[in-house]
Amino acid sequence: MRQRIFAHELQPGGWIDEQALALEYGISRTPLREALKVLASEGLVVLKPRRGCYVTELSEQDIDEVFPVMALLEGRVAEEAARRITSADFARLEVIHADLEKHAAANNADRFFEVNQRFHNALQDIAGNRYLAQLIDDARQVIKLTRRDSLRLEGRLKQSLAEHRDILEALRQKDPAKARRSMHDHLISGRTALARLAGSN
């Protein structure tokens, strides 16, 4: 169901037909409703009492609330990672980054998106704070509710790559403050790209 929500197969703001979905998945309404409760707590859907379940629709205000927090959290991850990173960790990151360069060169936004997520997850592992990582994962899910096509903006892939290089450089230097700033700016830059996209619609 998460996939279908992210793919906008279930459209934002749209009503979720419990019986139809239950029938489709070949299960009864009971487990489906429990799943909806979980999705609701993750912020992917909203449950209106006696009115049913609706896919969450993010307002511009919502996005402006989530992104700064995301930037703060990811910045913290980078900071902590810079303190703890080993050369083996760094090597792993470089492999992932090489993949990113490849997909950017091929202008493959979807693959870039996937590998980008792997990059950030790897950083979370290095930082070693599971709670922090979980908050970021949740926030990322919420952000994914919006169109992720910002990566398809002219030049955004290249820009994102450059920002990643900054982060990698800070990690190589084991400079926590710089890593935090680079990562923070990277996320804010992502928000800006999204805004440009919204503005052009």
Partner DNA sequence: TCCCATGATACTGCATCCATAATTATGAAT
Partner DNA sequence: ATTCATAATTATGGATGCAGTATCATGGGA
Partners of 55 in beta bridges: 45
185 is a site residue for a second copy (CB under 8 A): no
The one of a second copy, DNA, none whose footprint includes residue 94, by CB under 5 to 8 A per kind, is none
- Tell which one of 5, 32, 76, 170 touches a second copy (CB under 8 A): 76
- Tell which one of 18, 22, 42, 108 touches a second copy (CB under 8 A): 42
Minimum Å distance from CB 58 to DNA? 22
The one of DNA, a second copy, none whose footprint includes residue 41, by CB under 5 to 8 A per kind, is a second copy
Contact in structure between 179 and 171 (CB atoms under 8 Å): yes
Kindly indicate which of the ranges 30-38, 82-90, 104-112, 154-162 contains the residues binding DNA, using the contact rule CB under 7 A.
Answer: 30-38
| HSE-CB for 139 with a 13 A CA cutoff | 21
Binders of a second copy among residues 138 to 157 (CB under 8 A) are: 142
Binders of a second copy among residues 99 to 138 (CB under 8 A) are: 129-132, 135
The one of DNA, a second copy, none whose footprint includes residue 73, by CB under 5 to 8 A per kind, is a second copy
SS3 content of the chain, % helix, strand, coil (to 5): 75, 5, 20
Minimum Å distance from CB 13 to a second copy? 18
Closest CA to 189 of 156, 144, 143, 152: 156
> Which residues are CB-neighbours of 62 under 8 A, at least 6 positions away?
none
Contact in structure between 117 and 140 (CB atoms under 8 Å): yes
The one of a second copy, DNA, none whose footprint includes residue 155, by CB under 5 to 8 A per kind, is none
60 is a site residue for DNA (CB under 7 A): no
3-state secondary structure of 124: helix
H-helix or E-strand spanning residue 119: helix 109-127
Q: Which is nearer to a second copy, 64 or 94 (CB)?
A: 64
Partners of 76 in beta bridges: none
The Cα diameter of the chain in Å comes to: 56
33 is a site residue for a second copy (CB under 8 A): yes
d(CA 122, CA 79): 14
Structure tokens at 27: 């299960």
Residues that bind DNA in the complex, under the rule CB under 7 A: 15-19, 26-31, 33-34, 47-53
Residues that bind a second copy in the complex, under the rule CB under 8 A: 30, 33-34, 37-38, 40-42, 62, 65-66, 68-69, 72-73, 76, 129-132, 135, 142
